Amino acid sequence: MNHTHPTHIALRLLAASSLLAAGAASAHVTLAEGSATAGSDYTAAFRVGHACKDAKSTTGLTVRVPAGFAVQKAEARDGWSLNTSGSEISWKANSPQDAVQGDQKTQFIVRGKVDAKPGPLWFKVLQTCDTGSADWAQIPASDTAKPEFPAARLMVLAPGSAMPVEVSDAWVRRAVPGQSGTGAFMKLKAPAGTRLVGASTPVAGVAEVHEMKMEGDTMKMRALSQGLELPAGQTVELKPGGYHLMLTDLKQAVNVGTTVSITLRFVDAKGVASEQTLQVPVAVAAPGGAASGEEHQHQHKH
């Protein structure tokens, strides 16, 4: 069953960013709150958790404000000078003692209002350090791209939309010609209580949420007819041997080096339905893991 809801328009735009949580640059500048409702006031808190590579401290930060965000006030910092010029807001430490030291975590605050148009806003941020700098300004070119220096993303949602679920480390196990099924795996983190109720993909006739677990000496797999609970703020992992998406009645081979479009369907605690469409890479093992040679088992034992 397909759900129709204004959430869909905004959340489909999330496809290009939903897999970026595990970006290659672990110390990049991010927004403390990554989503906001269109037309609402928003406090942009730019989180800095580490100095530039080979540097000891952060001495300056410049935010290039995108069209679609109207600045109301940039917060001053003790020991730092603040300058606003056109679409740029800059902070600079007055002395080495005032700089943000090492891996000390801090935030730079800009208050404003987001545009009425749903979709992603990208804030490009230049981080200056005692040695060198880092320009966090790259916008991903595709759903699975992981830029080395990603810009900070704000997802603007349509009024009444459900908050998006954060998806990371997603992958689909390869399936050779003639193979009838495979599995899709990922980590899901919902900002509020939500349930994963279904999925669909053009490469398979059926996509279901399954659980695999040992019962005695037998590994059994069953479909979760009521979906999978995603407690607020907790990461729920879909992985081989546990919860996963089962893709059966495959319509084609699923080859390493390609991506599979998968639409996830959610329902929140208020009954609001939403969808997120991802472009998921095909692999033989989880990202960063070694291939075990053990293929996903497709014999359902109930």
Average pLDDT over residues 269-286: 89
> For domain 7-19+27-157, is the CATH number 1.10.10.10?
no
Half-sphere exposure of 121 (CA within 13 A, CB side): 28
Rg over alpha carbons for the chain, rounded to the nearest Å, is 22
Interval 105-156: pLDDT, tens? 999 999 999 987 888 899 999 999 999 999 999 998 865 567 899 999 998 9
194-218 pLDDT, tens digit per residue, is: 999 999 999 999 999 999 887 778 8
166-283 maps to which CATH number? 2.60.40.1890
Q: What's the pTM value of the predicted model, to 2 decimals?
A: 0.61
Of 119, 118, 110, 107, nearest to 42 by C-alpha is 110
- 220-248: average pLDDT: 92
pLDDT (tens digit per residue) in 239-272: 999 999 999 999 999 999 999 999 999 998 888 8
Enumerate the domain spans of the chain: 7-19+27-157, 166-283
Is the pLDDT at 15 greater than 60? The verdict is no
Read off the pLDDT of residues 37-58 as tens digits, 9 standing for 90 and up: 899 999 999 999 899 999 999 9
Q: Decide whether 7-19+27-157 matches 166-283 in CATH topology.
A: yes
Residue 280 pLDDT: 94
Task: Supply the DSSP symbol for 272.
Answer: -
- CA neighbor of 34 nearest in space, from 193, 146, 150: 150
